[in-house]
Structure 1
C-alpha cells in the first residue's frame, strides 16, 4: 500500500483514513502487526495467539479487510488473512515535517496496550512524536545516536529518551535489519587470572 503520485486523490484519502484507524486503535494496530509478522493467519490463529474472543477477532479482522489493509488470501474455510504492506508519507500543513507510516510504527502503536512507556510517550507527544522516536530508535540501533542526543534534539529529558528507546528496541529489531552491537559477556576473551 505504498503511496505514489499516480494514485487518484480519493484512493489516497481512503488509504489515509484506513491507516488513521490503525493509529487510533491499538487493538487494530496489534492485529495488523501480528498479521505482518505471521505472513498469513486464520481467525482461530488470531484468537489463540492474541487471546481475543471469537466475536472480537472476527470484528477486528473484518474491519481491517474493509479498510483495505488486510487481504483474504483464500476463500476456503478456514479463511486465511494477510496484511498489506503500508508505506504512507504524510506532510504537515506547514510543509516542515514529514512522517512515514510503516508497519513498524503501527506495531509500536499496537504495543501501547502492553507497554506503559509507549503509552505514556504517546499521551505526551502523540503518534507523530512516537514516529520521531522510532526514527531515533533505528538510528540508535545502528550506533548513530545516543539517548542524550535524542533528548537534546527533541527537548525532552535524557531519562524519557532512554525509556522510549528501550521500549522501541523490540520493534526496531523486529522490523529493521540491525545486528546486535557489542559482544556478550560469554563472547569476551577474559582470563580469570587478570586483575579487574
Structure 2
C-alpha cells in the first residue's frame, strides 16, 4: 500500500482514511499487527491467538478487508487473510513535519490496549508523538541516543522518555534491524530506514 504521486487523489484519501481507522482503534491496529506477523491467518486463528469472541473477530477482520488493508488470500473455507503492507507518508498542515505510517507504528498503536506506558504516551503526545518516540527507540537500540537526549530534544522528562523507550523496545526488535549502527537520528525516517539517495 505504498503511495506514489501517480495515484488518483480519491484513492490516496481512501487509503489515508483506512489507515486513520487503524491508528484510532487499537483493537484494529492489534489485529493488523497480528496478521502482519503471521503472514496469513484464519478467523479461528485470530479468535484463538487474540482471545476474541467469534462475532468480534469476524467484525474486525471484515472491517480491515473493507478498508482495503487486509486481503482474502483463500476463498476456500476456512478463508485465510493477509495484510497489505502500509507505507504512507503524511505531512503536517504547516508542512514542517512528515510522518511515515508503517506496520511498526500500527503495531505500537495496537499495543496501547495492553501497555499502559504506550497508552499514556499517546494520550499526552498523540500518535504523531508516538511516531517520533519510535524513531528515537530505533536509534536507542542501535546505541545512537540516550533517553536523556530524547527527553531534552522533545522537552519531556527523562523518566517519561525512558518509559516509552522501554515500552517500544519489543516493537523495534520485531520490525527493525538494530545491528545497523552508524545511522544518525537525523538520517532515520519514522520507518527506521535511512533517508537520502539510494
Gap change, CA 1:150 and 1:28, over 3 Å in 2 = same
Question: Once the 2 structures are TM-superposed, how far is the Cα of residue 179 of structure 1 from its aligned partner?
Answer: 3.8
Mapped contact 2:113–2:119 kept (Cα < 8 A): yes
Question: Once the 2 structures are TM-superposed, how far is the Cα of residue 162 of structure 1 from its aligned partner?
Answer: 0.3
Gap change, CA 1:10 and 1:55, over 3 Å in 2 = same
How many residues end up aligned between the 2 structures? 196
1:64 matched to which residue of 2? Answer: 64
Gap change, CA 1:5 and 1:158, over 3 Å in 2 = same
Mapped contact 2:28–2:110 kept (Cα < 8 A): yes
User: Deviation per CA, 1:37-68, whole angstroms, max 9, x where unpaired?
Assistant: 00000000000000000000000000000000
- The secondary structure found in structure 2 opposite 1:94 is coil
Q: Distance in 2 between matches of 1:89 and 1:185?
A: 18
Gap change, CA 1:143 and 1:77, over 3 Å in 2 = same
TM-score w.r.t. length of structure 2: 0.90
Q: Distance in 1 between matches of 2:168 and 2:95?
A: 27
Q: CA RMSD in A?
A: 9.5
Gap change, CA 1:188 and 1:119, over 3 Å in 2 = closer
- The secondary structure found in structure 1 opposite 2:189 is coil
Q: Distance in 2 between matches of 1:56 and 1:185?
A: 40
User: Deviation per CA, 1:114-145, whole angstroms, max 9, x where unpaired?
Assistant: 00000000000000000000000011111111
Unaligned runs of 5+ in 2: none
Q: Distance in 1 between matches of 2:53 and 2:141?
A: 36
Which stretch shows the higher mean deviation, 183-192 or 44-53?
183-192
- The secondary structure found in structure 2 opposite 1:71 is strand
Pairwise mapping of residues 37-56 of structure 1 onto structure 2 (< 5 A)?
37-56=37-56
Question: Once the 2 structures are TM-superposed, how far is the Cα of residue 178 of structure 1 from its aligned partner?
Answer: 1.5
After the TM superposition, list the runs of 4 or more consecutive aligned residues in structure 1 that deviate by more than 3 angstroms.
179-196
Q: Distance in 1 between matches of 2:83 and 2:188?
A: 41
Q: Distance in 1 between matches of 2:197 and 2:32?
A: 52
Gap change, CA 1:45 and 1:159, over 3 Å in 2 = same
Mapped contact 2:18–2:67 kept (Cα < 8 A): yes
Question: Once the 2 structures are TM-superposed, how far is the Cα of residue 183 of structure 1 from its aligned partner?
Answer: 21
